[in-house]
Structure 1
Amino acid sequence: MSWCTGSTRFPPLSPSNNNLDAAQLVQYEFLINTTKKIYGDTIITEGADGSLQGPFNQLLYTPTIVQSWTAQQLGAAGLLTSKENEAAVLGILSFNRATYGLYAHTLLAQKAGFTLEQVLSMLAGRCATGLSTRESAIYNLAAKLAQMRGPLDQASYNAAFAVLGHDGVEATIQQAAAFSYSAMMLNAGDVCVPQGAGC
């Protein structure tokens, strides 16, 4: 699953490492509480030294955007059901292959209701069997958005619109864009699967 090099481009920040400034500490506490509330024990979001995992440690290097970034992510996720959100995320991951994202959303997509076989199929770029019409449309649109190098082609838009309508298409675009933001951070930071989950 992993293509990460294991380099530490953004060294871990945590109270135990004594390397947080005042602004970072406020946002660290915010992220610790938020990630625990959202993810519980489903995925690893905190290291043994108390440092945040995934995109969250990296975010602390720009503390002024932590809460607006979080609000954007949660706002986009609130536009679709949890299973539909994961369909969009898996569509994005099928192309950008962010290592921590692959780890986290393999688990989160199963928690949302997909089987492991469906998840692996979608990560391989194939719309899995057994998806609802909406889930398939969302996955296909998100996968297409991940590949865009210009305007979305009309046939792809029409296929998504026929199932999702304006609201569903825009909700999918928002979720795909929000997760693409996270995935870009993960890939730029070369963020691996956390210790204890295998890399």
Structure 2
Amino acid sequence: MATFEDNLGGRLALLAPDDLNSDQKKLYNQLQDTMVPWAKKSGFQAATFDDRLVGPFNAMLRSPLIAKALMSVTAAEGEHTSLNEKVRQVVILTVGAAWQAAYELYAHTAVGRQAGFDEATLQQLVAGQKPATLSADEAVAYDFTHRLTTTHQIAPELYEQAIVTFGEKGVVDMIALAGQYMTISGLLNTFAVPAPTAAT
């Protein structure tokens, strides 16, 4: 009989730690050491009570070597980005809303809350709307990311605004972050990964 925990995998079974091959186990251990504690600290769930990974992490175990490289990009972005945390969360939530990626929106609503956004602002971002409460740089990040993820083009005026606001490095950083979460959203939507609705 399927359990609630099994449903958290969407179209994929949740892999148990004992069932992993060598490469999967290395990635699993890395995620358990980094992403699972970060998720707990941020207020969202990345593993079940019996230590099976959920969200995009369960899907990543299917291709552990590429996923390990993806996590290296994630680590590099976190260490070297020129974007502040609130701008980062605007970018991530804007991508999640455009993709309607339930787990990503669930997770980064929690992260955005910790970054200092109020609930009304977060709910507007989740709904794909531009909150009036965004700061000037956050508003540019929203406009840039929304256009990039929905029309895939950046008009000259918006490009100039982004360059003035973030500089060339910041624009590259913003594109890299958006692309990273397009990949995550693609994993989540392809495998129909839901957001948890209760503790497991």
- Normalised TM-score (structure 2): 0.86
Task: Specify every segment of 5 or more residues in structure 1 that has no aligned partner in the other structure, as ranges.
Answer: none
**SS of the residue aligned with 1:40?**
helix
- In the alignment, is the contact (CA less than 8 A) between 2:36 and 2:47 conserved in 1? no
**Equivalent residue number for residue 117 of structure 1:** 120
Q: 1:46/1:177 Cα in 2 relative to 1: closer, same or farther (>3 Å)?
A: same
Equivalent residue number for residue 175 of structure 1: 177
Could you tell me which residue of structure 1 aligns to residue 198 of structure 2? Answer: 196
> Does the CA-based 8 Å contact 1:47-1:195 persist in structure 2?
no
Identity of aligned pairs, percent? 26
Q: Which residue is equivalent to 2:166?
A: 164
Following superposition, the deviation at residue 99 of structure 1 comes to 0.8
Q: What whole-Å deviation, never above 9, does each CA across 1:111-168 have from its counterpart, x for those lacking one?
A: 111111011112223221232211111121111111134x432232123223222122
- 1:197 is displaced (CA, Å) by 5.4
Question: Quick one: distance in 2 between partners of 1:191 and 1:40?
Answer: 19
Q: Distance in 2 between matches of 1:197 and 1:180?
A: 27
The corresponding residue for 1:53 is 54
Structure 2: gaps of 5 or more residues: 1-6
Tell me if structure 1 keeps the 8 A contact 2:77–2:177: yes
Distance 1:49 1:189, change over 3 A: same
Counting matched residue pairs gives 191
> How far does the alpha carbon of each residue in 1:30-84 deviate from its partner, in whole angstroms, 9 at most, with x for none?
1111113422341100012311011001101111123211111222234122211
- Cα RMSD (Å): 2.1
2:34 partner SS? helix
Aligned counterparts of 2:125 and 2:197: Cα–Cα separation in 1: 25
1:1-199 aligned at under 5 Å gives the runs 8-15=10-17, 18-41=18-41, 42-78=43-79, 79=81, 80-149=83-152, 151-194=153-196, 196=198
| TM, length-normalised to structure 1 | 0.87
